[in-house]
Amino acid sequence: MKLSVLDQSPALTGRSESESIRESLSLAHLAEQLGYHRFWVSEHHNIPAMVGTAPEVLMAAIAATTRRIRIGSAGVMLPHYSALKVAEQFRTLEALAPGRIDLGLGRAPGGDMRTAQTLNPNAHSAADDFPQQVFDLQAWSQAGQDMAHRGIQAHPHGPFAPEMWILGSSDYGAQLAAHFGLPYAFAYFFTDGQGAEQALALYRRLYKPTPRHPQPEPTLCVWAFVAETEIEARHHALSRDRWRMDRQRGVFGALQSPEAVATVGFSAADQATLDAMHQRAFVGKAAQVGAQLRALAGEFELDELVVNTWSHDPAARRHSYELLAQEFALPRAPQSA
């Protein structure tokens, strides 16, 4: 089974936000060395916890420092933008890293509506045009295209085209991906798995084959943390536990250290909520988490999972990905001479 990475450039208390962006770049290089199949970066706006606002810029930097791993957006929030401009950006990325670019598309604002309206004054209705935007983007993103769409060509042309994905956490994205014959990634980590079974079943049942994707290609994006011991893993996961409880109250601050979280603790109500979440969490030793991920992939008949990991300690996050790569015996990249 292939494993991939979803990186959200998490902000960390006590560190600058620019460090989070540089850490994303460092993690991409490590992921390639460890044998991960893809490295996806996210787009969020006005959310202090996730500071990756320009995936296409970060992807260009990653393309310049890697040679093998696929690089993608997870995703570009398309209603903010012109489909033509996105096509041009990703054609340029494809020219920089031929055959390695994924264009993941989302319909959500990736932030609050006030920020969405600042990005696009028509934000309240822009999402309604998402299917048409996807159609246009497909037309402008074809490999070797020398025919105009709407009388316009998107440059630069080349022998490869970005691989488009639809991202979502509801039935809407699943049905849209099926209609356009595109790969589909369900945000399992965002819903704790709720809705995943129905969404993927809809996707497979309604799928319309295309020449590039004759069969449905679904995946799940999961959150996981691995350490040498389960106690250590759960300790580091406290940072995300705190963030999730705060998010429910509309607070989106930077990731706190697990020591700070442990000192304050959780209310009885929060702890009850967390206990329920932990029943479905992928946190522990490599063998333990590996077994859970294999079972999940088997249940959904998947040959790839995308793993998202947060930690206040960048070294602990990198080690988590290292342990998971070892557990799944991922094909490590050959060392440079």
Question: What pLDDT, in 10s, does the model give residues 160-198?
Answer: 999 999 999 999 999 999 999 999 999 999 999 999 999
pLDDT in tens, 130-161: 999 999 999 998 877 677 898 899 999 999 99
The CA-based angle 230-231-235, given to 5 degrees, is 115
Q: What percent of the chain has pLDDT over 70?
A: 99
Write down the pLDDT at residue 92: 97
Whether residue 251 lies inside any domain: the answer is no
Write down the pLDDT at residue 335: 65
Write down the pLDDT at residue 227: 98
Whether residue 200 lies inside any domain: the answer is yes
Whether residue 162 lies inside any domain: the answer is yes
Sign, CA torsion 130/131/133/138: positive
- Asked whether the predicted pLDDT for residue 337 surpasses 50, the reply is no
Q: How many domains does the chain have?
A: 1
- In 3D space, the residue among 283, 157, 287, 299 whose CA is nearest the CA of residue 218 turns out to be 299
Q: Kind of pairing, strands 38-41 and 2-7?
A: parallel
In the predicted model, what is the mean pLDDT of residues 322-332?
97
Whether residue 236 lies inside any domain: the answer is no
CATH of the domain at 169: 3.20.20.30
Whether residue 276 lies inside any domain: the answer is no
Write down the pLDDT at residue 186: 98
Whether residue 154 lies inside any domain: the answer is yes
* Separation of alpha carbons 17 and 137, rounded Å: 32
pLDDT in tens, 253-301: 999 999 999 999 999 999 999 999 998 899 999 999 999 999 999 999 9
Question: Could you list the residue range(s) of the whole structural domain that residue 136 is in?
Answer: 2-230+282-327
The residues with which 131 forms a beta bridge, in sequence order, are: none
Write down the pLDDT at residue 124: 84
Write down the pLDDT at residue 145: 67
Rounded to two decimals, the pTM is 0.96
- Asked whether the predicted pLDDT for residue 83 surpasses 80, the reply is yes
The upper half-sphere exposure of residue 107, i.e. CA atoms within 13 Å in the direction of its Cβ, equals 21
Write down the pLDDT at residue 112: 87
In the predicted model, what is the mean pLDDT of residues 237-246?
97
Total length of the chain: 337
Write down the pLDDT at residue 214: 98
Whether residue 247 lies inside any domain: the answer is no
In the predicted model, what is the mean pLDDT of residues 8-18?
97
Q: Which residue has the higher pLDDT, 147 or 79?
A: 79
* Separation of alpha carbons 47 and 111, rounded Å: 6
Sign, CA torsion 184/190/196/199: negative
- Asked whether the predicted pLDDT for residue 86 surpasses 50, the reply is yes
Q: Which residues contact 291 (CB under 8 A, 6 or more apart)?
A: none
Whether residue 176 lies inside any domain: the answer is yes
pLDDT in tens, 29-53: 999 999 999 999 999 999 999 999 9
Write down the pLDDT at residue 294: 98
Mean pLDDT (the chain, rounded): 95
